[in-house]
Structure 1
Amino acid sequence: MAVSVINSKWITSNDYTVANGALRSDSTIGYRSLGEGKFYFEIKNGSGSSNRWIGFTDKDNPSWSGASSMLGTMIAIWQPVVNAIYGIHLDLTSATQGRFRWNANGGSFSSWTSIKDNPQNVITKIKPVIGSAASVNTNVSTSINAGQAPFFNNIDKLLEDSEFEGTYFFDGSGSFATSKTLLSAKGKYYSILNIDTWYETKMTSNTTPAPLVANAASEFNTTYPAWKAFNGTKDNGSYDYWSSATGTTSWIQINYGKRVHVNVLELSATMLTQAVANGMPRDFNILASNDNSKFTKLAEYKGQTWSNGETKEYSFNNISEYQYYRIEVLSTNGYGYVCIGEILFKSVQNKIIEMSEINIENLIKYGMSNNVKLDSIFNNKNYILQDSVSENSDGLWVTQLDRKPLSIGFN
């Protein structure tokens, strides 16, 4: 079967954010460095904000004695129009020189301007800033990305400009954009979705919400019941965990009230003390059953060690659906009781999806990364699926996430 690859420049996720003085949401204080790519964001100039400068800096606390204090200052926006929206196109693809251009209220973009400091030295890291003669960001009504989506500038219109090739877009809701790909064969369009379904039980007793039932081989007392390992909260040191009555072997399980598919387990230790965290399973099995009598071993793990508050995720092979899932603890790390802070099961399944037509919404939502491999065979074909986070009729909270696909193949 002949396969064609269809590319676009759009993807949405929440990997990055834009805020005043920031193009990152991590500890790098909002800086972007040369070589990291092209970026587009917008600045809203609020009411009464004509006496402002908009530009870039590589200083954590720059002095604002005048517009020349800015690095690569947008002199043309020395007195920006009140209530105008400025689109900023930042190009850091070169490892040796950054540049930018801008437009106002959807008009034509300016020429590219090199980003240098006042003595005309090339700078290697920058962050966007708004300033006045007194200090940075003194006028709160002026903000980098006003938090409004979509952009004032139409994305489709921007993408018609070849200069936007490979640009990452920040859309006010904290979105990050790059290229996406779909496959076409015999007039139809295909993608792969990695479907993650977390079974968020949120229990408040061993039998609520129905039809969920949590139980264990033993419980230390009413302060440490089995359901606390399935209540949806990780223990922060408030005794929010299950503890066995005695010994370093035991089991705990969840009855979902119906058959569900599970192939991932997330375990969390209590933050109470390291000693209690040593009650987490060192050697354990994951078991499953449909009658609570005959159990199938799905996976086994040995030599696990834990820090207080630590969370670990375990993936295992399972293609079947079961009603009961049990953690059989064979040993701990020395504590006299088995103690588990939180248990969460998940289903991860790769699905090939078919869509009858291609449009920008389908490309954005279901497109793959450009790292597409055509060396895998997928036997299951599905049609477009919807993301959901909801409580179903059985009282089970289900969070389903469609994550970026990795590969696709055809017979």
Structure 2
Amino acid sequence: MSNKVKVTLDPLNKGSGIVLSNDNLTALVPNLNSTTRATLGRDSGKWYWEVSFSSITYSQVGISNDLAGVGDTHLNKNARRYSSGANKVPENTKFGTSYTKDDVIGVFLDLDNGILKFYKNGISQGISHTDIKSLGLVYPSITSGSSSGGCTSTINFGATPFKYLPSDLPIGTHSYDGNITTANLFLLQSNNKVYSTKYTNTFEPLAMTSYTAPSPFEITSSGDFNSSYACWKAFNGTNSGSGDSWLTTNGSPLGWIQVNFGFRKIYNKISFTTRDYSDSNLTAPKEFKILSSNDSLNWNQLTVISNQTGWKANETRIFEFSNLRAYQYYRLQITEANYTAYSAIGELVFGYKGLSLLNLNNKSANSFIDYGQIAKLEGLNLPISIVKYVVQVTKQYDATTKQLDKKPLSISFN
């Protein structure tokens, strides 16, 4: 159990242009010349906090150590952050998806294993860095990456409930101020069998830099308008301006775009973002299908998305569909257009929402420690797409199990 402490942004250790308010939890960061950081540093443990924005031109959220200082740290080697432009720093390479003032960025700092991970509105953006131990004592920090603008951000270290508490935080994770901990563990017992569940709700952006990079992904289409509107740009993790998009061949608005993941994956939802241009109400498709295949020759129809009108520039719509099988190829095929010349897509991201079942052989203390669910059980109404059997050789201890009078799930094994 961690000690509960009051943590704020540090009024005595901030850049000269920083203005703090809201009990030192809100910071106006004017540009990249000023950095704000927390009053408390950490060098061990697992921690989580959130950052929201009331205004943003450019922002970098993450951590830094004493050597980074509180001035221009936007590419400092002693800082590790995630930028609003969808880069990780100091590498300044693509990471995750871009974020705006309407988004909440969650930060997971695992100092025991040297890992830094970010979430956008509760959706994992992946691990940005695995070298955190080399920094020593680190502080949550916020800065800008631009000389012409910054952000006004509010940081929640745990004094109030988090807006998006990820379901995949490891056991033993605490809010940064120690006020919240993932210490309540649950297992399911039904018909003398013990189960654990894992609820997943995530998107997996690809950050493509060409048709075939990074490997093993490959993006193809029915045809590109020209090389400036190549299909891989719909999977590059950014959506800045009209050119950062895929356009079908001129005169052929009913095209298709597909991704070869290089291995089989289960996806059952997609995030569709129009290109960032004023004609998106016309160029975004009215109807499209999601197809799947394991040989790129024989295709299964997973869903049809119809009557999509009134699109805005850089607008994201999320569509869920039923799918319990893993496929290597996924295709979006436009079947009805809002425009006669061509169709356009700014960004596509496939994702998965579902429940995995772990079949445990006992309810020992080790089972609770290794597989117990944190805080709450989620997704029990969803189909189970993955079943794993866990073999353990551990000494049994007395432990309390969440006993259910009736079988909570309809479970069948092939």
> What range is the shorter-chain TM-score in?
0.3 to 0.5
TM-score, length basis structure 2:
0.48
Q: Choose between structure 1 and 2 for higher RCO, CA contacts under 8 A separated by at least 6 residues.
A: 1
Relative to its length, the structure with more strand (as a share) is 2
TM-score, length basis structure 1:
0.48
